[in-house]
Amino acid sequence: MLSITFPPLILNFELLCLSVWYGLQCWFCSLIRMVRAWYMDEDTSNPQLEHHLDPAEYVPIEDVFELSGVEYFKLNLETYKTDGVLDGIRKERKYSYEDEITCSETCIPNYADKLKIFFEEHLHTDEEIRLVLDGAGYFDVRDKGDRWIRIEVGPGDMLILPSGIFHRFTPDKRMYVKAKRYFIGEPVWVAHNRIGSPAEGMDCRKEYLKKAQEGF
Ligand SMILES: CSCCC(=O)/C(O)=C/O
Ligand SMILES: [Fe+2]
């Protein structure tokens, strides 16, 4: 009776319920989402897919540091500006520079080309520090045995990649990620690709390999 008399009203109410339900789900999932990492296959097609081995081989996030030197922190995005956790990390590690990057079709010109650059295996002479604020993506890092570990990052995940580690990045299939970047002093964004550059012989690479051998 009601739906015959006021169909638009009913429809609007259903839409409202659906969007509230969806919002609650997103909020709940963001509260309980755990960072995941796994050994991945060598297939470089469709990087935005998960690329598990068969059978899947997950890596507990607590083991990632020992295997690669990559550090992980979970931050509460509701409180991170004031709760002291991020400030503590920044102070201890002397991060003096900070900015924000949004990887999306609208924010980055020639987005497809930029994604290809991010996904080339490379290293930097400094740490790569990222705190994900929104969206999701994958940091692929080489472990001590040169195997790829894929780390899935989403809101509140902070990664510190040591200087000299070979890695690459891709957003997930939604193709969107927003992150904060930190740096000690003036940022150097230069990426030294593993193929076609002398990256293997660089001092930071040698130091990284020495630490990997001695234990991070
Ligand atoms: C999530 S930040 C985008 C990736 C990036 O900045 C980088 O340098 C990857 O190696
Ligand atoms: Fe990088």
167 is in an annotated binding site: yes
Q: Which atom of ligand 1 is nearest to the CA of 153?
A: 1
Give the Å distance between the CA of 101 and the centre of ligand 1.
8
CATH homologous superfamily of 37-214: Jelly Rolls (2.60.120.10)
List of residues 6+ apart from 120 with CB closer than 8 A:
168, 191, 193, 194, 195
Nearest CA to ligand 1 atom 4: 169
User: Ligand 1, residues 125, 152, 169: which to mutate, most atoms within 8 A of Cβ?
Assistant: 169
Sketch the domain layout of the chain as residue ranges. Answer: 37-214
Q: What is the pLDDT along the chain (216 residues), one digit of tens a residue?
A: 445 555 566 667 776 766 676 566 655 556 678 999 999 999 999 999 999 999 999 999 999 999 999 999 999 999 999 999 999 999 999 999 999 999 999 999 999 999 999 999 999 999 999 999 999 999 999 999 999 999 999 999 999 999 999 999 999 999 999 999 999 999 999 999 999 989 999 999 999 999 999 999
In the chain, where does DSSP find H-type helix?
2-5, 7-32, 61-68, 85-93, 111-119, 203-214
For the chain, the maximum distance between any two Cα atoms, rounded to a whole number of angstroms, is 78
